[in-house]
Chains A and B, each alone.
Chain A
Amino acid sequence: KNQVEQSPQSLIILEGKNCTLQCNYTVSPFSNLRWYKQDTGRGPVSLTIMTFSENTKSNGRYTATLDADTKQSSLHITASQLSDSASYICVVSEYNSGGGADGLTFGKGTHLIIQP
Chain B
Amino acid sequence: DTAVSQTPKYLVTQMGNDKSIKCEQNLGHDTMYWYKQDSKKFLKIMFSYNNKELIINETVPNRFSPKSPDKAHLNLHINSLELGDSAVYFCASSQILGENTIYFGEGSWLTVV
Contact = CB atoms under 8 A, between A and B. Distances in A.
Interface stretch (B14-22, B67-75, B78-86, B92-100): B92-100
Interface residues of B, number: 29
B98 A97 contact: yes
B90 A101 contact: no
Contacts, number: 71
Nearest to B56: A101
Interface residues of A, number: 26
Given A99-B98, A103-B98, A43 B4 contact: yes
B55 to A, nearest CB: 4
A32 interface: yes
A109 B42 CA distance: 7
A103 B44 CA distance: 12
Contacts of A34: 101-102
A106 B48 contact: no
A100 B99 contact: no
Interface string A51-83: 000000000000000000000000000000000
17 contacts: A38-B41, A41-B106, A43-B4, A43-B104, A44-B43, A46-B103, A49-B101, A99-B48, A99-B98, A100-B50, A101-B57, A102-B55, A102-B57, A103-B97, A104-B98, A108-B40, A111-B41
Interface of B: 4, 31, 40-48, 50, 55-57, 90, 92, 96-107
Interface of A: 31-32, 34, 38, 41-46, 49, 87, 89, 93, 97-104, 106, 108-109, 111
